[in-house]
Structure 1
Amino acid sequence: MKLTTIISSIILFCAVTQVYSQPQIGDFGFGLILGEPTGLTLKGSAGRENAWDLALGSSWFGSLRIHGDYLWNVNAFSSRKAGLYFGLGAALGFGRGKGVVFKGKKGEWYYYEDEEAMAFGIRGVAGVNGMPFKAPVELFLEVAPLIGITPATGVGTDLAVGIRYYP
């Protein structure tokens, strides 16, 4: 009986210590995103299982780009340190646009270049995020299929990694 009490106490102590050693994050974070786009990122809480994020920066082809998403957090790993998220959002691009149209029969790529204009598209996003340190810092990796609506229709994929700090 005494051994059971001691073992139970040790397990309870370790569990409580583990919970309190996790970073306590705020409702708002800011940081850097690398990929599409490369620039600044913001993220805020929209409840226990939801969040929003914004990114502002330079697109792969050099024009200004902003996107915003509404996110659903999923605790797929049963972990307080890592999780998955999915979301829907929109993207705006400003300035001259470029893109890959298709690959030719001889392996050459054909590109297009738009006039200066504003572009709009909708996107879905899926990502993995984690807080591997005791500091309130989030690392993330996300992929987002994009459907361009204006000035022309088309599809694309955004891929990015980033880091956010939660004061």
Structure 2
Amino acid sequence: MKKFVLLLLPAFLLMNISASAQDKGFGAGIMIGEPTGLSAKYWLNGTNALDFGLAYSFVRKNNAVSLHADYLYHAFDLIKSSERIPVYYGFGARLRIVENEDTGLGARGVIGVAWLSSQVPVDVFIELVPVFNLFPSTSLNLDAAIGARFYFY
């Protein structure tokens, strides 16, 4: 049995690596910017996805932990290329926990560009995110990140 498992494991890994990042499945990775942390994406269908992040803010006063969730739409036909490079946009919410301050809640607007690899199950993205902070006081922030995710099917 042990030999059977050892034979199947490399085959499974090679099969998974040979797949390409597509507009389906679940991906997890990192984002670097403001804030910096973990990123996840779950495709609902060929154009819509849910995006999640758990990140830490190094830039603004009183270091903060942010948790966000967004609903995204991907337009695959805006950038003409043989590669899959969608422009995406959407909206969501951010919960921000700041040391020695009140927890904040904000509305996010997202616009970005992604590259979906045809060789490996990976995407690379860059995005700008205006955040309208609603609580404890109103203000406007601009977050930005570059990142990558590996897709598990």
Gaps of 5+ in 2: 1-17
Once the two structures are superposed, residues 141-164 of structure 1 have per-residue CA deviations (whole angstroms, 9 ceiling, x without a partner) of 000111010000010101000000
Residues 47 and 132 of structure 1, relative CA distance in 2, 3 Å threshold: closer
Whether 2:86 is the aligned partner of 1:86: answer no
C-alpha RMSD over aligned residues: 1.8
**SS of structure 1 residue aligned to 2:70:** strand
Once the two structures are superposed, residues 72-122 of structure 1 have per-residue CA deviations (whole angstroms, 9 ceiling, x without a partner) of 0001124442110000001110023xxxxxxxxxxxxxxxxxx42100000
Identity %: 35
Relative to the length of structure 2, the TM-score reads 0.78
Whether 2:47 is the aligned partner of 1:49: answer yes
User: How far apart in 2 are the matches of 1:55 and 1:163?
Assistant: 12
Q: 2:20 aligns with which of 13, 20, 23?
A: 23
Whether 2:64 is the aligned partner of 1:59: answer no
Instruction: Name the structure 2 match of 1:159.
Output: 144
Residues 24 and 69 of structure 1, relative CA distance in 2, 3 Å threshold: closer
Which 4+ residue blocks in structure 1 deviate beyond 3 angstroms? none
User: How far apart in 2 are the matches of 1:84 and 1:154?
Assistant: 27
Whether 2:74 is the aligned partner of 1:73: answer yes
Rg larger for: 1
User: How far apart in 2 are the matches of 1:133 and 1:48?
Assistant: 16
Relative to the length of structure 1, the TM-score reads 0.71
Structure 1 residue 36, shift from structure 2 partner: 2.0
Structure 1 residue 24, shift from structure 2 partner: 4.8
User: How far apart in 2 are the matches of 1:88 and 1:152?
Assistant: 20
Instruction: Name the structure 1 match of 2:130.
Output: 145
**SS of structure 1 residue aligned to 2:103:** strand
What amino acid does structure 2 have at the position aligned with 1:65? S
Contact 2:21 2:123 in 1 (8 A): no
**SS of structure 1 residue aligned to 2:86:** strand
Instruction: Name the structure 2 match of 1:105.
Output: none
